[in-house]
Chain A
Amino acid sequence: MVAVSQGFKTDLLGAIPSLRAFAVSLTQNSDKADDLVQETLVKAWDKHESFQPGTNLKAWLFTILRNEFYSQMRKRGREVQDSDGIMTARLAVHPAQHGQLDLKDFRGALEQLPEDQREAIILIGASGFSYEEAAEICGCAVGTIKSRVSRARTRLQDILKISGEDEYGPDAISAQVTGSPAT
């Protein structure tokens, strides 16, 4: 077995903040998230030889973390949420006015998304991955990621009562024009 290089260890350390953010996004619980990150680091360490230097370490680690998350969920006997099987969630959220949307409300809305949609919109909209990278991390087709992101965005807009995507708040017409999800 090849020893783990110092550089690899340093890179792992550097990736921890991102891993924790992704883990919290998935689990919605900071204790579970840190356990998940710990598992991820141990797994990454054990299989460091399968990482190809020069490729995207963050994507590699996110893949491990995500696999670990879903395998833990299966072990706990929890059905992985299926986006189509979920009832439209309702939460009393005040309509966003003049682009002032409370971060707490946003967090609450994000929590209501099914896992597959939440991870897709996080990977694309926040973690800075391309659709191709996100598809690789999730082990699915690029088109699947696109549709999940689109559905996640639509659902967030519904929950948060944002009808359009205009910076200064939508008027009736722009809401009609921009309200439909990107495909």
Chain B
Amino acid sequence: MTDMTKDILAGVAGRRRDGAGDALGSNSEIGRKLKQYYDELVSDDVPDRFAQLLSQLEQAEPAQKKD
């Protein structure tokens, strides 16, 4: 089994061996488009604002101990 096949199985079917899991599997047009749609969104570049936000939250954290 190739890694890609494993990924597909893990992502689409995984623990779901019942009905709709298969219905959205890699043999289904809807299932494939759904993955394609979503994967495109996931691979979108993340704007810097989120890393900055987390850094800000981190710095704001020990508010009482600030000197």
Interface residues of A (CB under 8 A from B): 3-4, 9, 12-13, 16-18, 20-21, 24-25, 34, 37-38, 41-42, 45, 96, 99, 101, 103, 106-107, 110, 121-122, 124-128, 130-131, 146, 149-150, 153, 156-157, 160, 162, 165-167, 181-183
Contact = CB atoms under 8 A, between A and B. Distances in A.
A21 B11 contact: no
A101 B47 contact: no
Q: Is the interface of A mostly helix, strand, loop or mixed?
A: helix
Nearest to A152: B30
A83 to B, nearest CB: 16
Contacts of A37: 50
B59 to A, nearest CB: 11
Contacts of A146: 19-20
A125 B41 contact: no
Q: Is the interface of B mostly helix, strand, loop or mixed?
A: helix
Contacts of A121: 24, 34
A49 to B, nearest CB: 13
Nearest to A1: B61
A25 B38 contact: yes
B34 A165 contact: no
A150 B22 CA distance: 11
B29 A183 contact: no
B19 A125 contact: no
A165 B33 contact: no
A156 B20 contact: no
25 contacts: A12-B54, A13-B50, A13-B51, A17-B42, A17-B44, A20-B46, A21-B41, A21-B44, A37-B50, A41-B50, A41-B53, A42-B57, A45-B54, A101-B33, A107-B37, A121-B24, A121-B34, A126-B35, A126-B37, A126-B38, A131-B18, A146-B19, A156-B30, A166-B27, A182-B19
A125 B50 contact: no
